[in-house]
Amino acid sequence: MAEGGDRTDQAPPPRPLDSIDRDILRILQTEGRASIRSVAERVHVSRANAYARINRLIDDGVIRGFSARVNHERAGQGASAYITLKIVQNSWRTVREQLQALPGAAHIALVSGDFDVLLLVHTPDNRTLRELVLTRLQSIPEVLSTRTLLVFEETDLDPGPGQGPLPAPSPDAEPL
């Protein structure tokens, strides 16, 4: 099995999130372009409070960035696959760096079980996918074996529970 997570840049322990923080996260996960004013109104706090909370969530590393949800097929990336990899023990950091450089790599995870790494890729077509697996992945010396699982159809899930209207904030919620 590959080694554990990267501990070189340890952050301080995360601050606990209250219900307002969780509501802000839920809004931003479904509507990354929501305005501060809209977020503030929906969680029943002032704009200044919402702004400060969002900045704290960013500074604390809870929010890692904002992005668009892409339909890969319509964006010219019609072939998607999950690729499992068995790797040489203690080679996770090296392999991760090489996988991050792959065209079309969308998600990389160190996992437990029958394989060590789970890689999600999006490519224009099956020929490009084949080339990626047979030429690029299998040429990485630390990769012992791969297995490719083609994605026939995928559905993005809305983030977390409580996907409907937001409940009123708890009366005992502490403001920042």
pLDDT single digits (tens) 24-34:
999 998 888 99
At residue 102, what are phi and psi to the nearest 5 degrees? -70, 135
Mean pLDDT in the chain? 85
> Does the pLDDT of residue 3 top 80, yes or no?
no
Residue ranges covered by each domain of the chain = 19-59, 79-151
Token couple for 36: 């501060």
Half-sphere exposure of 140 (CA within 13 A, CB side): 25
**pLDDT, tens digit, 9 for 90 and up, residues 35-50:** 999 999 999 999 999 9
Q: Which residues partner with 107 through β-bridges?
A: 120
HSE-CB at 5 with a 13 A cutoff on CA atoms is 5
Burial profile 108-141: b = 16 or more Cβ within 10 angstroms, e = fewer: bebeeeebbbbbbbbbeeeebbeebbeebbeebe
pLDDT for 51-68, tens place per residue?
999 999 999 999 998 888
In the structure encoding, which two tokens stand for residue 111, read together?
């996992």
More confidently predicted of 168 and 136: 136
For domain 19-59, give its CATH number from 1.10.10.10, 3.20.20.210, 3.40.630.30, 3.40.50.300: 1.10.10.10
pLDDT at 10: 66
Residue 159 near residue 27 (C-beta atoms within 8 A): no
For CA atoms 17, 22, 28, 34, the dihedral sign is negative
Q: Whole-model pTM? A: 0.69
Whether the CB-CB separation of 10 and 61 falls below 8 Å is answered with no
Q: Which amino acid is at 77?
A: Q
* pLDDT for the residue 72: 86
Residues 79-151, CATH architecture: 2-Layer Sandwich (3.30)
Question: In the prediction, which pLDDT does 128 show?
Answer: 96
Q: Which of 120, 117, 111, 104 lies closest to 156, judged by CA?
A: 120
pLDDT of 104 > 90? The answer is yes
* Lowest-confidence region among 6-10, 68-72, 80-84, 171-175: 171-175
Query: Rg of the Cα trace of the chain?
Result: 20
* pLDDT of 146: 97
Average pLDDT of the residues in 93-104: 96
Percent of the chain with pLDDT over 70: 83
